[in-house]
Structure 1
Amino acid sequence: LAVRYDIPFLGEIPLEIDIRALSDEGRPPVAMGEERHKKYYRTIVDNLFASTPFRL
């Protein structure tokens, strides 16, 4: 979709049962999940910041 709409690809989150279960319970996987789950979210956030002109 990123290529189709000419927007940056930020990353992907696999359809894993643990991520889905935490999300369904209202518990963010990035805060509650295992380290392997957190890396997907960190990659997306890093890519989002890298693709914007704003710096913190």
Structure 2
Amino acid sequence: MGNRITVVLTPTNVEKLRAIQAKMIKSSEKSISFSHVLNLVVSEGLKKFKS
């Protein structure tokens, strides 16, 4: 389990993440948490910043 932190997101980013989550839920039989989606998106974004 990861660290528990507080993050403030803009409403636009929340809507985009919820849309991603909805697509993932439709194609999966498992539950998909908002935290899981956020971690996936952040992981992909951080790949761009590897040195």
Higher share in helix:
2
Question: Relative contact order, CA 8 A, sep 6+: which one is greater?
Answer: 1
TM-score over 0.5 for the pair? no
TM-score bracket, normalised by the shorter chain, equals 0.3 to 0.5
Q: Radius of gyration: which is bigger?
A: 1
Q: TM-score, normalised by structure 2?
A: 0.40
